[in-house]
Amino acid sequence: MKTLTLAFLFALLATGTAARAASHEHENHHDTATQQPAATHTGTGVLKAVNAKDGKVQIAHEPIAELDWPSMTMWFALRDPLPKDLKAGDAVRFEMMQGEKNQWVIVRIGRK
Protein backbone atom coordinates (compact mmCIF):
# COMPACT_ATOMS: atom_id res chain seq x y z
CA MET A 1 0.00 0.00 0.00
CA LYS A 2 2.87 2.38 0.89
CA THR A 3 4.50 1.65 -2.45
CA LEU A 4 1.28 2.40 -4.30
CA THR A 5 0.75 5.64 -2.34
CA LEU A 6 4.34 6.76 -3.00
CA ALA A 7 4.04 5.92 -6.70
CA PHE A 8 0.80 7.88 -6.89
CA LEU A 9 2.40 10.85 -5.09
CA PHE A 10 5.40 10.86 -7.46
CA ALA A 11 3.09 10.63 -10.46
CA LEU A 12 1.14 13.67 -9.23
CA LEU A 13 4.34 15.63 -8.65
CA ALA A 14 5.69 14.73 -12.09
CA THR A 15 2.41 15.71 -13.76
CA GLY A 16 2.33 19.06 -11.94
CA THR A 17 5.94 19.82 -12.86
CA ALA A 18 5.34 18.94 -16.51
CA ALA A 19 2.20 21.08 -16.60
CA ARG A 20 4.05 24.06 -15.08
CA ALA A 21 6.91 23.63 -17.57
CA ALA A 22 4.49 23.46 -20.51
CA SER A 23 2.65 26.51 -19.21
CA HIS A 24 5.93 28.40 -18.79
CA GLU A 25 7.00 27.52 -22.36
CA HIS A 26 3.66 28.77 -23.64
CA GLU A 27 4.06 32.03 -21.74
CA ASN A 28 7.56 32.59 -23.13
CA HIS A 29 6.39 31.81 -26.65
CA HIS A 30 3.51 34.22 -26.22
CA ASP A 31 5.82 37.01 -25.04
CA THR A 32 8.16 36.72 -28.02
CA ALA A 33 5.29 36.35 -30.45
CA THR A 34 3.75 39.66 -29.35
CA GLN A 35 6.98 41.68 -29.36
CA GLN A 36 7.05 44.19 -32.18
CA PRO A 37 10.21 44.69 -34.22
CA ALA A 38 11.91 48.01 -33.58
CA ALA A 39 10.56 50.69 -35.91
CA THR A 40 12.97 52.18 -38.40
CA HIS A 41 12.77 55.69 -39.80
CA THR A 42 14.28 57.02 -43.00
CA GLY A 43 16.12 60.31 -43.40
CA THR A 44 18.21 62.19 -45.91
CA GLY A 45 20.93 64.75 -45.38
CA VAL A 46 24.60 65.58 -45.69
CA LEU A 47 27.34 63.68 -43.87
CA LYS A 48 29.19 66.40 -41.94
CA ALA A 49 31.73 64.46 -39.84
CA VAL A 50 32.87 60.91 -39.11
CA ASN A 51 34.18 59.63 -35.79
CA ALA A 52 35.28 56.14 -36.82
CA LYS A 53 36.91 55.46 -33.43
CA ASP A 54 33.60 55.85 -31.58
CA GLY A 55 31.43 54.55 -34.45
CA LYS A 56 29.49 57.79 -34.91
CA VAL A 57 28.61 60.17 -37.72
CA GLN A 58 27.29 63.71 -37.74
CA ILE A 59 24.53 64.37 -40.26
CA ALA A 60 22.77 67.60 -41.20
CA HIS A 61 19.43 65.99 -41.96
CA GLU A 62 16.29 67.26 -43.63
CA PRO A 63 12.99 67.18 -41.67
CA ILE A 64 11.86 63.70 -40.63
CA ALA A 65 8.08 64.02 -40.64
CA GLU A 66 7.27 60.68 -38.99
CA LEU A 67 9.26 61.78 -35.92
CA ASP A 68 8.11 65.40 -36.15
CA TRP A 69 11.77 66.50 -36.35
CA PRO A 70 12.78 69.71 -38.11
CA SER A 71 16.01 69.97 -40.11
CA MET A 72 18.98 69.79 -37.74
CA THR A 73 22.54 68.60 -37.39
CA MET A 74 23.12 65.76 -34.94
CA TRP A 75 25.36 62.82 -34.09
CA PHE A 76 24.20 59.27 -34.66
CA ALA A 77 25.71 55.95 -33.58
CA LEU A 78 26.46 53.45 -36.34
CA ARG A 79 25.37 49.83 -35.97
CA ASP A 80 27.90 48.78 -38.62
CA PRO A 81 31.08 50.44 -39.90
CA LEU A 82 30.54 53.32 -42.35
CA PRO A 83 30.82 52.17 -45.97
CA LYS A 84 34.29 53.04 -47.29
CA ASP A 85 32.90 55.03 -50.23
CA LEU A 86 31.20 57.61 -47.94
CA LYS A 87 32.98 60.72 -46.69
CA ALA A 88 32.16 64.09 -45.15
CA GLY A 89 30.27 66.26 -47.63
CA ASP A 90 28.37 63.38 -49.27
CA ALA A 91 24.57 63.50 -49.58
CA VAL A 92 23.19 60.41 -47.83
CA ARG A 93 20.01 58.47 -47.26
CA PHE A 94 19.86 56.58 -43.98
CA GLU A 95 17.66 54.30 -41.95
CA MET A 96 17.72 54.58 -38.16
CA MET A 97 16.08 53.10 -35.11
CA GLN A 98 16.03 53.94 -31.44
CA GLY A 99 18.55 51.80 -29.57
CA GLU A 100 19.56 51.42 -25.97
CA LYS A 101 19.17 54.43 -23.70
CA ASN A 102 17.01 56.10 -26.39
CA GLN A 103 20.09 56.63 -28.58
CA TRP A 104 19.41 56.85 -32.34
CA VAL A 105 21.38 54.27 -34.28
CA ILE A 106 21.87 54.24 -38.05
CA VAL A 107 21.22 50.72 -39.30
CA ARG A 108 21.70 51.47 -43.02
CA ILE A 109 23.38 54.36 -44.81
CA GLY A 110 24.33 55.04 -48.42
CA ARG A 111 24.64 57.76 -51.03
CA LYS A 112 21.51 59.70 -51.83
Q: Is the pTM of this model over 0.75?
A: no
pLDDT, residue 23, reads: 47
Sorted by where each begins, the domain ranges of the chain are 1-35, 40-111
d(CA 55, CA 68): 26
Q: Are 61 and 74 in contact (CB under 8 A)?
A: yes
Three-class DSSP category at 103: coil
pLDDT in tens, 45-102: 999 999 999 999 999 999 999 999 999 999 999 999 999 999 999 999 999 999 988 8
* CATH code given to domain 40-111: 2.40.50.320
Is 26 a residue whose pLDDT tops 50? no
Tell me the range of 14-18, 25-29, 60-64 where mean pLDDT is highest. Answer: 60-64
